[in-house]
Amino acid sequence: MIREVLHRLLRSRNAVIGLLIVLAFLLMALLAPVLAPQRAETQSLIDALKTPNRAYPLGTDEFGRCVLSRVIYGARVSLRIALLGSAIALGIGVFLGAIAGYHGGIVDYVVQALVDISWAFPTILLALAIIFILGPGLQSIMIAVGLVYWGAYARLTRGQFLVLREEEYVQAARASGASAFRIVIRHLLPNSLAPLIVQLSLGIGRIILIEASLSFLGLGAQPPIPSWGAMLSNGRLYLMTAWWLTVFPGVAIMIVVLGFNLVGDGLRDALDPRLRRV
């Protein structure tokens, strides 16, 4: 099954492009100290607000910091928040969705109601309310996005469990005396992974956008941490004179989110051949 999906995924040109983009950004984040010409915080006031040139390929900001280096280091911030935030969302969502789908009844009703309530808030609004409570900072953003995005994973897991628990092999496992925990871990969860992986890929892209928005509002990464959103917020002050401060961090966000979206789309098509034909 996995080999077949992978084969289909790799046959899609868009998905391969997406995978390459994601891999490139992961490598960029991991190897930032090697790849970046300078450290992200290194200032050189004499070189302030230089247009892109040979020494500074993407120009410099008002402190003479190398924009290329800050964009490269920025990948670390964005991807760390996106991956850890997704892990929090996935953990909460799968846990609650599994309980709701397996038990049904009142537990299911309560979980569904919680999802409905969290979905009543525009994503950014809920994240803002959580950050208001926790105070600004990257850790708050990570928790906020986790608490904002768990609903989608809960709904998916619940939906899968509701269908799967009626399957014969699950009934058989139950009849043979397997514990609920064993049934969930051995049978239900592995067979629910496909839609969760698709959602995860698309979700990571969205979380990167949310992190960028919150940092842009000044509620995420605090100076001098090189976050793409914070760089854009700063670039806004020089919109008329230093276009490179606004253009390059935005391009980085767009490309990495595009990568995750292409992978998500490709995975969805690979896992659901019926959609692929459309």
Partner 1 sequence: MSIIQYIIRRILLIIPVLVGVTVLVFGILHLVPGDPVRLMLGEMTTEEAYVRTRERLGLDRPLYVQYFSFLGRICRFDFGRSLILREDVAKLLAAKLPNTLSLTASGLILSYAIGIVFGVLAAVRRNTIIDYSSMGLAIIGVSVPQFWLGFLLIMLFAVKLHWLPIAGYGTFRHLVLPVVTLSLGGAADVARMTRSSLLEVVRQDYVQTARAKGLRERKVIFKHGLRNALIPIITLLGLKIGWLFGGAVIIEIVFLRPGLGRMLIDAIYMRDFPVVQGVTLILATTVILGNMLADVLYAVVNPRVQY
| Contact between 201 and partner 1 per CB under 8 A | no
Task: Assign 37 to helix, strand or coil.
Answer: coil
Count of residues that interact with partner 1, criterion CB under 8 A: 45
Exposed/middle/buried for residue 166 (C-beta within 10 Å: 0-12, 13-18, 19+)? exposed
- Stretch 66-125 residues interacting with partner 1 (CB under 8 A): 113-114, 116-117, 119-125
The residue among 204, 231, 202, 237 whose CA lies nearest residue 215 is 231
| Contact between 49 and partner 1 per CB under 8 A | no
Shortest distance in whole angstroms from residue 103 CB to partner 1: 20
In degrees, rounded to 5, the angle at the alpha carbon of residue 28 between the alpha carbons of residues 27 and 30 is 60
| Contact between 16 and partner 1 per CB under 8 A | no
Residue 165 near residue 101 (C-beta atoms within 8 A)? yes
Residue 227 DSSP label = -
| Contact between 63 and partner 1 per CB under 8 A | no
Dihedral (Cα; 89, 91, 96, 99), 10-degree rounding: 160
| Contact between 250 and partner 1 per CB under 8 A | yes
| Contact between 236 and partner 1 per CB under 8 A | yes
Interface contacts to partner 1, rule CB under 8 A: 113-114, 116-117, 119-125, 128-129, 131-133, 135, 205, 209, 212-213, 216-219, 229, 232, 235-236, 239-240, 243, 246-247, 250, 253-255, 257-258, 261-262, 265, 275, 278
